[in-house]
């Protein structure tokens, strides 16, 4: 399937497992790519991988910390030097630094602030910089990455709250940027990456036990959902929060 032929997609966090899987799937769907990551080494490794798998795909790679506006401006300028427009924006950057689970009553203000910044600031900068062009051209697809814990979680209260904010801003942007730009959100469950090495094994097993499909998600599962939401197959979908969780529904 080449549903994105002729489109250009910007993917943040493209050097990580999820961002890399998304970039690869969008390339497979025919998109040209603008890839960024805070790690130059991870980014160059992903560009090499995509180049081998999809040699005809045009790729602009630019190392940037999307939490910093000056670096986002440099990223957008690098893309503009190569492509006439960015049609698709996938905001992957997010997560938690340090321990995966910290009780609210034991949480530092630094961790609280940092978690919100990591999960929201990149969306703030990139949508404002890229969204203007989408509005001017009357076309755009934006996908944000939330989490199944956005509905609330005892083990990750600050992460759940930050991802709830991602879901909320998705709805707000869908209304503001309509009717020509769609904005949707994916809420992944636990995805099989090296991050799970930091998760308590009993907690991991309890999650699997209540997952109807009885397995962890794969980065490719998220990538497939992104490919759908950025294609014309999803042209009548906006403001949606799509759980990719193996059957767990985000709810208190």
Task: Tabulate helix, strand, coil % of the chain (nearest 5).
Answer: 50, 15, 35
C-alpha of 192 from chain center: 16
Q: Is 159 a catalytic residue?
A: yes
Phi-psi region at 146: left, alpha or beta (left = phi > 0; alpha = psi -120 to 50): beta
Contact 47, 59 (CB under 8 A): yes
- The catalytic residue among 150, 155, 159, 207 is 159
Whether residue 99 contacts residue 198, with contact meaning beta carbons closer than 8 Å, is answered with yes
Contact between 59 and 50 (Cβ < 8 Å):
yes
DSSP 105: G
Token pair of 222 as six digits:
């998220």
- The tokens describing 124, both together, are 């703030």
Whole-Å CA distances, 87 to 15, 83, 133:
20, 10, 9
Residues involved in catalysis: 159
């Amino acid at each position: 399937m080449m549903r994105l032929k002729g489109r250009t997609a910007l993917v943040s966090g493209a050097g990580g497992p999820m961002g890399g899987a998304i970039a690869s799937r969008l390339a497979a769907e025919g998109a040209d790519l603008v890839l960024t990551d805070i790690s130059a080494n991870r980014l160059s490794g992903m560009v090499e991988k995509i180049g081998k798998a999809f040699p005809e795909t045009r790729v602009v790679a630019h190392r940037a910390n999307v939490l910093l506006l000056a670096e986002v401006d440099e990223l957008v300028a690098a893309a503009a030097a190569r492509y006439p427009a960015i049609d698709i924006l996938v905001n992957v950057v997010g997560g938690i630094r340090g321990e995966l689970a910290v009780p609210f009553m034991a949480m530092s203000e630094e961790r609280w602030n940092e978690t919100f910044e990591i999960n929201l600031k990149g969306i703030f900068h990139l949508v404002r910089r890229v969204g203007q062009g989408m509005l001017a051209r009357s076309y755009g697809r934006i996908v944000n990455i939330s989490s199944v814990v956005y509905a609330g979680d005892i083990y990750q209260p600050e992460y759940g709250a930050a991802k709830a904010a991602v879901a909320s801003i998705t709805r707000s942007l869908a209304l503001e940027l309509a009717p020509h730009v769609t904005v949707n959100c994916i809420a992944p469950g636990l995805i099989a990456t090296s991050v799970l090495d930091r998760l308590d094994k009993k907690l991991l097993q309890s999650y699997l036990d209540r997952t109807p499909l009885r397995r962890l998600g794969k980065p490719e599962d998220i990538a497939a959902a992104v490919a759908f939401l950025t294609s014309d197959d999803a042209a009548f979908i906006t403001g949606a929060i799509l759980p990719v969780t193996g059957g767990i529904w985000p709810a208190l």
